């Protein structure tokens, strides 16, 4: 396996790895729950620490980045915003996101910070996954490296040269 693929695999699994510029990147372990700071959120009461660890391990064991995005899409529900403010024209926000985890077969609603800390992902990862969701709920694949080279000659051009 090439170094590049090993590096990508370790990054996806949340392990420490050496970056392309020979800089060691730290591991991404399970973060402590952020809901201790906010008394109105009771996410930690509904999702126990063992369940969080199990969810984290399940997420990190997924074989590809696309599978991790599908996991996020299955646990983030996108709804139209419920309240309309006075200044409708200037509002850029059109959706509200609801974050859930499946624990013992039940979907449990959690706050955004708890969701991000449990999976140890950034907000941009969640937004990207939601943007790649198509209208029927299927994620669009990663298109990097799928195009034909711009300088590739066709077979007829090669025959003309020879």
In tens digits, what is the pLDDT along the chain, a chain of 162 residues?
A: 688 788 887 777 777 878 878 888 777 777 877 766 566 667 888 888 899 999 999 998 998 888 899 999 999 988 877 777 666 666 677 778 899 999 988 999 998 999 999 999 999 999 988 888 877 767 777 777 888 888 888 888 888 887
**Dist. CA 42–CA 44, nearest whole Å:** 6
Residues 4 and 79 in one domain: no
Residues 8 and 76 in one domain: no
145, 57 in Cβ contact below 8 A? no
Burial of 69 (0-12, 13-18, 19+ CB in 10 A): buried
**R_g of the chain computed on alpha carbons:** 21
Q: How far is CA 155 from the centre of its chain?
A: 41
Residues 7 and 35 in one domain: no
Distances in Å between the Cα of 58 and the Cα atoms of 2, 30, 141 are 25, 12, 21
H-type alpha helices, the chain: 3-13, 43-46, 49-60, 65-75, 112-119, 123-131, 155-161
Q: What is the pLDDT of residue 36?
A: 64
Tell me which residue of 138, 9, 58 sits closest to 1, measured CA to CA. Answer: 9
Residues 23 and 44 in one domain: no
Residues 116 and 48 in one domain: yes
Angle of helix 49-60 relative to helix 112-119, nearest 10 degrees, comes to 60
**Dist. CA 125–CA 72, nearest whole Å:** 9
User: Is the full-model pTM beyond 0.85?
Assistant: no
Question: What is the count of structural domains for the chain?
Answer: 2
* Domain assignment of residue 18, yes or no: yes
Q: What is the pLDDT of residue 100?
A: 93
Residues 55 and 120 in one domain: yes
The SS3 of residue 159 is helix
Residues 40 and 6 in one domain: no
* Domain assignment of residue 9, yes or no: yes
Residues counted in the chain? 162
* Domain assignment of residue 157, yes or no: no
**Dist. CA 72–CA 102, nearest whole Å:** 12
Residues 71 and 104 in one domain: yes
* Domain assignment of residue 153, yes or no: no
Residue 3 is part of which domain span? 1-27
Residues 53 and 105 in one domain: yes
Residues 4 and 69 in one domain: no
Residues 72 and 98 in one domain: yes
């Amino acid at each position: 396996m090439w170094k590049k693929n090993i590096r990508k695999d370790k990054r996806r699994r949340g392990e420490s790895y050496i970056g392309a510029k020979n800089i060691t990147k730290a591991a991404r372990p399970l973060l402590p729950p952020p809901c201790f700071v906010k008394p109105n959120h009771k996410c930690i009461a509904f999702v126990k620490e063992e369940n969080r660890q199990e969810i984290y391990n399940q997420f990190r064991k997924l074989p590809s980045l696309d599978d991790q995005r599908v996991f996020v899409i299955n646990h983030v529900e996108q709804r139209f915003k419920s309240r309309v403010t006075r200044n409708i024209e200037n509002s850029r926000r059109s959706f509200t996101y609801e974050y859930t985890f499946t624990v013992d077969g039940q979907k449990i609603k959690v706050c955004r910070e708890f969701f991000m800390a449990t999976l140890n992902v950034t907000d941009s990862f969640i937004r990207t996954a939601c943007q790649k969701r198509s209208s029927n709920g299927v994620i669009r694949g990663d298109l990097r490296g799928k195009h034909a080279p711009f300088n590739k000659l066709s077979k007829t051009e090669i025959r003309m040269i020879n």
